[in-house]
Structure 1
Amino acid sequence: RNGSLVFEMSPTFSLNQIEWAFYRSALKFQILEHLLQPQEVTTVQLAQKLAVSESSLFRKIKELNGLLAEFELEIWQGKLIGEETQIRYFYFELFWYVHSFDSQPLPIDEKYVGLITRGLNMRFTKEAQQRLSLWLRIMKARLKIATQSFQVLREKMVPYTKDPLFQQLRELVFRGFGHYALEVREEEAMLHFVFLLSFSVLSEHDLQVYMLQRSRFTPTALTDTLILEHILHLYRPSFVPREIEATCYGHLLQIHSRVYFFKGDVEVFDRENIWQLEAQLSSRNIQQISHELLDKALAELNIKPSDKNSLLMMTMVKYLSVITIIDYQINREFRVGIALKMDELFKEALYYMWLLYLKNLNGVVVERYRPEQEYDLILANYAIKTKTPTYRISELGTAYDRETIKKMIRERFK
């Protein structure tokens, strides 16, 4: 149209459908699907199966190895090499993400979900049942692989061997999986344990029950408590209701379980966009707070910080989500009074300009200045005798004014 290309689609059509077709047909995705299969194939055989040249296949495998590095995985001689925990984690993340673009829901293994439901006396949402079923699908494929490495998992599970949920799963896996004619080892119970705690499978109720039963002295439990205390400290002297505190504790349990047991992440969200949005809307510097929380969590979990591990970077975004939940629930107010002396028309226009700018900051309430009212901050273009922090606006309000005022609000919110 007029020398330009215009893309239009009906309201019932989603770009997700295009993405789904794109991922399914992508050579890299097809390579990864083939590597999940139990039969070993040479590079030549794989090239023939995928109908590509060996040089193209080698190039794609090299690119994939670059992406798999943060998961500590590598494609070598037609096999995916690495810790079994990481392999299953990677495939779950990949398939769950790719299937999110499919118009057809993931199938649910009713028999398996029923086994877990009865064995643990828990209830699972439809989405949680889909997650469980996908985990089973990956498990069944990987059980047929002769050589599996569980060294890191066994080491990390030492503090959890007496955990009540793990003990239940240990009995359930050995007793229940006989129906599937699968030979399982104790590590399968360990994998189920870390999966249930890390991937939004347990309901809020079941999480609360588990938190009352678990040891308070495991690495993740100690970290959950430490980080929750630091987050609650941000709101003192305000009182955070117990139910909100418990909800956030449950989120932290899942966040830290994933950080403790896994590495790498298939990123679903644009982190930079999230932080840009946070900078526009938040009345405090949550990115800085999240970074400090991550440093404390990694120190407690004895994990080395790494900018190359995107799971750690996404953990900061998850801390943002936890803080946002509390912010909105307790609805703390930061009251700003605007005092202006100028022509009435300009006064009205400038007031609304600041109102529009500041009202998007979470918790900020803006109103015209009244001497008898208490404020956290006063914006004025003339001198006011008051003990309240005051900012003198220059002219009609410059970009410098806006950034400085936002910084002042964030400092007061700490």
Structure 2
Amino acid sequence: MRKFDLLEKLEVYQIDILIYLSNVGGTTTKKELLRHLDIGNYFLSKLLEELMTSAKKSNDCFSIEVNKHTIIFQTKPDYSLHTLYNELIIHAPKYTILEELLLCGTIDVTRLCEKIGISHSTYFRKINELNILLNEFDLTIQNGSLLGSELQIRFFYVSLYSVTDPKHQLKAPNVDPRIYETANHIQQLLGSPMSVLARKKLIIYLSLLKRRNAQKTIPDFSELEPFFNNKSDICSQKRFVNALKNSRLFKKINETLGSFLVYYSFKMPPDEIILLLLFMLGEDIIPANSHCLKELDLIERYSRFFIQTLNNEFFDFMKTCYPNTCLNNYHRSTLQYYLNSISYRHLIFKGHIDSYWELNYTEQEKTIHSESIQHFVNYLKEKYPVIFVDPTHDTVLITKYAHALSFYEECVKIKISVGIFIEGDLLCKKKFTDQWIKYVGLNTFAEAGPFAPNQFYDLVISNVDCSYLKKRGKYFFFLTNYNEKKDFSDLDQLLYKIYSS
């Protein structure tokens, strides 16, 4: 599902106009815009009128000036298209319908149509459009209610709110202070600060939990299918869930969430803790350096969880592609965390909301469809066919595997060793040595440090043209000026030449 699928046709064109204007420097002619959009004069005039109305409502955060032949677009420094994009979405009929389902549990069609200003026939057309989008999440709207597994419903709304960023709903006093307290307590239990995005997702989740309990729309979990959306290894999934119920993390979360629900006089369903823990695993809520990960690793091993199998397959494949290479402990633990994360997400949830307006897939597609990653994916499809069951959902996993492969390649790639020797007074020497180390470090294939007399380098960089220094490197680069642009340009060419040789 793409974020802009929630917009109406008119709004899609409006965003397209602003993106085009931004890309060309803010000014263009009507003729160029008509050619870009492939529309007529009347429709363009209507679009520009709507944009000028939006500009007035933005308190002059952006402006559209229409002259006889030209159009000028300007924004304040702290205002972005992302902000306008989200404002358009949260006022779109499809988004309003989704929010009504969340806030009220069910839809009163007549009242909602009056609120949005649409007819009944338009409402039902929007429901059909939404059901096409929601199918990716195994959700559907029927008789004014959202149907699907409880975890999928929560996952969908967390995803939706994460990409549309309804800040007014996530700030005090709009968020119950008790929710913030519970999020803080969970963070303490994890023993490490959560990322900003992880904390935001957890707050949204707890807000959803409170609201759905108040609406009494949470179904009996005992009547549901297994918690995992993907049925690749149901036996290991059951073993994992049972082991998770006996973990220290489960007991701590149980106490925290129990206090949260009791405060509102809500009953604690038997598997509510499991839902929260699975959500946390699938949405990267648990930090990479949390002490809880050690216990989770033991649980995965004990239950012979399928994620361990997938990770081992990936590392074995990388060893085949890059024999005689080895990751250091830091890189391996980082990659292990990432692989766990993408596997949990793929196995637990279904669906994805692309938060970008227009993503440039050129380089990404090259990576995804590169020979290596395609070979790995084909191998998994043949050996574990139940992993890949939905092309749209599978693309997200394949893309993330491509990122993992790229990370592995970067880690094992042999880097060019560079020694920096700057002559001068103490402060200048330190300043310019650090400057050049930092600049060389911008290249992923080079690693620089202060010159060491007992070391031999691929390249020595210095402001002193000295035969001794030249002998300590395969190549020597003489600085004409510490920060002259020509030095940067020439050095880039030399580094690339060394790397390519």
Same fold (TM over 0.5): yes
Residue in 1 that maps onto 2:274:
190
Moved more, 287-296 or 322-331: 287-296
Partner Cα separation in structure 1 for residue 358 and residue 401 of structure 2: 13
Residue deviations 1:277-329 (CA, integer Å, cap 9, x gap): 2467x7xx76443344445556548334322x3x3211122112222223333
Matched, 1:44 2:125: no
Structure 1 residues 332 and 125: CA distance shift in structure 2, 3 A: same
Structure 1 residues 121 and 290: CA distance shift in structure 2, 3 A: same
**What are the residue-to-residue correspondences of 1:32-71 with 2, within 5 Å?**
32-71=98-137
Matched, 1:268 2:355: yes
Structure 1 residues 49 and 39: CA distance shift in structure 2, 3 A: farther
Partner Cα separation in structure 2 for residue 10 and residue 121 of structure 1: 40
2:209 counterpart SS class = helix
The amino acid of 2:243's aligned partner reads K
2:225 corresponds, among 146, 149, 152, to 152
1:236 counterpart SS class = coil
Q: Confirm or deny: 8 A CA contact 1:170 1:186 kept in the other structure.
A: no
Partner Cα separation in structure 1 for residue 153 and residue 286 of structure 2: 22
1:5 counterpart SS class = strand
Q: Confirm or deny: 8 A CA contact 2:137 2:152 kept in the other structure.
A: yes
Matched, 1:93 2:166: no
Residue in 2 that maps onto 1:320:
402
2:71 counterpart SS class = coil
Partner Cα separation in structure 1 for residue 412 and residue 395 of structure 2: 27
Moved more, 162-171 or 49-58: 162-171
Q: Confirm or deny: 8 A CA contact 1:154 1:187 kept in the other structure.
A: no
Residue in 1 that maps onto 2:194:
124
1:215 counterpart SS class = helix
Residue in 2 that maps onto 1:111:
181
Residue deviations 1:121-174 (CA, integer Å, cap 9, x gap): 453234322221111011112223345264234476522211224454345433
1:235 corresponds, among 316, 322, 327, to 322
Residue in 1 that maps onto 2:373:
290
Partner Cα separation in structure 1 for residue 380 and residue 280 of structure 2: 21
Partner Cα separation in structure 2 for residue 104 and residue 79 of structure 1: 22
Unaligned runs of 5+ in 1: 335-360, 365-414
Structure 1 residues 71 and 104: CA distance shift in structure 2, 3 A: closer
Partner Cα separation in structure 1 for residue 261 and residue 272 of structure 2: 10
Residue in 2 that maps onto 1:406:
none
Residue in 1 that maps onto 2:5:
none
TM-score (norm 2): 0.59
**What are the residue-to-residue correspondences of 1:369-408 with 2, within 5 Å?**
none
Residue in 1 that maps onto 2:412:
330
Matched, 1:209 2:280: no
| Identity fraction in percent | 21
The amino acid of 1:318's aligned partner reads K
Q: Confirm or deny: 8 A CA contact 2:100 2:106 kept in the other structure.
A: no
Structure 1 residues 137 and 296: CA distance shift in structure 2, 3 A: farther
Residue deviations 1:79-127 (CA, integer Å, cap 9, x gap): 0111111111111100111008x59975673311133134454532343
Q: Confirm or deny: 8 A CA contact 2:162 2:200 kept in the other structure.
A: no
Partner Cα separation in structure 2 for residue 40 and residue 279 of structure 1: 41
CA RMSD of aligned residues (A): 3.4
Residue in 2 that maps onto 1:178:
262
Structure 1 residues 119 and 245: CA distance shift in structure 2, 3 A: closer
The amino acid of 2:184's aligned partner reads G
1:204 counterpart SS class = coil
Partner Cα separation in structure 1 for residue 410 and residue 171 of structure 2: 33
Structure 1 residues 75 and 185: CA distance shift in structure 2, 3 A: same
Residue deviations 1:52-81 (CA, integer Å, cap 9, x gap): 210111111111011111111111111011
Structure 1 residues 106 and 254: CA distance shift in structure 2, 3 A: farther
Partner Cα separation in structure 1 for residue 109 and residue 168 of structure 2: 33
Partner Cα separation in structure 2 for residue 18 and residue 182 of structure 1: 38
The amino acid of 1:277's aligned partner reads E
1:11 counterpart SS class = coil
The amino acid of 1:189's aligned partner reads I
The amino acid of 1:194's aligned partner reads L
The amino acid of 1:205's aligned partner reads N
1:305 counterpart SS class = coil
Structure 1 residues 239 and 271: CA distance shift in structure 2, 3 A: farther
Partner Cα separation in structure 2 for residue 24 and residue 272 of structure 1: 21
Q: Confirm or deny: 8 A CA contact 1:37 1:141 kept in the other structure.
A: yes
Structure 1 residues 32 and 93: CA distance shift in structure 2, 3 A: same
Moved more, 128-137 or 226-235: 226-235
2:350 counterpart SS class = coil
1:7 corresponds, among 73, 82, 85, to 73
Residue in 1 that maps onto 2:47:
none
Partner Cα separation in structure 2 for residue 272 and residue 126 of structure 1: 23
Structure 1 residues 325 and 103: CA distance shift in structure 2, 3 A: farther
1:23 corresponds, among 64, 89, 92, to 89
Q: Confirm or deny: 8 A CA contact 2:134 2:140 kept in the other structure.
A: yes
Unaligned runs of 5+ in 2: 1-66, 229-233, 417-442, 447-501
Residue in 1 that maps onto 2:363:
277
Partner Cα separation in structure 2 for residue 175 and residue 129 of structure 1: 19
Structure 1 residues 105 and 288: CA distance shift in structure 2, 3 A: farther
Structure 1 residues 279 and 83: CA distance shift in structure 2, 3 A: closer
Partner Cα separation in structure 1 for residue 313 and residue 358 of structure 2: 25
